[in-house]
Structure 1
Amino acid sequence: MNIALPIITLVVGLIGGFFIGVYYLRRQMTTMQNDPEMLQKVAKQMGYNLNGKQMQRAQQMMKNSNQPGRAPAAGKRQGRKGK
């Protein structure tokens, strides 16, 4: 019992933390999608400088990825295979 309780607590904490993290990240993505200034700030932190057209494209991609039941586009921009 002295060993099982800390292990069970650790597992429950990890699972709970994962779901809280996913919820927080989804909220941030939704907020960022609606706020172009925040999206620009994140892009600059990652080393990118987005122009207006790129900003619109990024917002559209984020909006499309948040729609339930919609699968991401497969096969776009993949490298050549087998050569």
Structure 2
Amino acid sequence: MPIYSIDMLPKLRSNDPTVKELICSDVKGFKLKLQEVEDLARALQNNTNVETISFLGNPVNANAARLLAQFFTVNTRLK
């Protein structure tokens, strides 16, 4: 599972089939800023390939959580 970075946004926006899983957890001091989570959620809005996203240990604000919830609701391929 690749660790998410801001450089991945173009791949996520373009629905790149090579990105199926993301780690957005607090791994080795890595923490997403809340704006980055919102940017990630927006990039995922039309993505149908991502199947798993891990946010263990990483806080998500209400706006980002709402956008991510919309993504998971619309993307019926997710389990």
**Taking CA–CA contacts closer than 8 Å with sequence separation of 6 or more, which of the two structures ends up with the larger relative contact order?**
2
Q: TM-score, normalised by structure 2?
A: 0.29
Q: Which has the larger radius of gyration?
A: 1
Q: TM-score, normalised by structure 1?
A: 0.28
More strand by share: 2
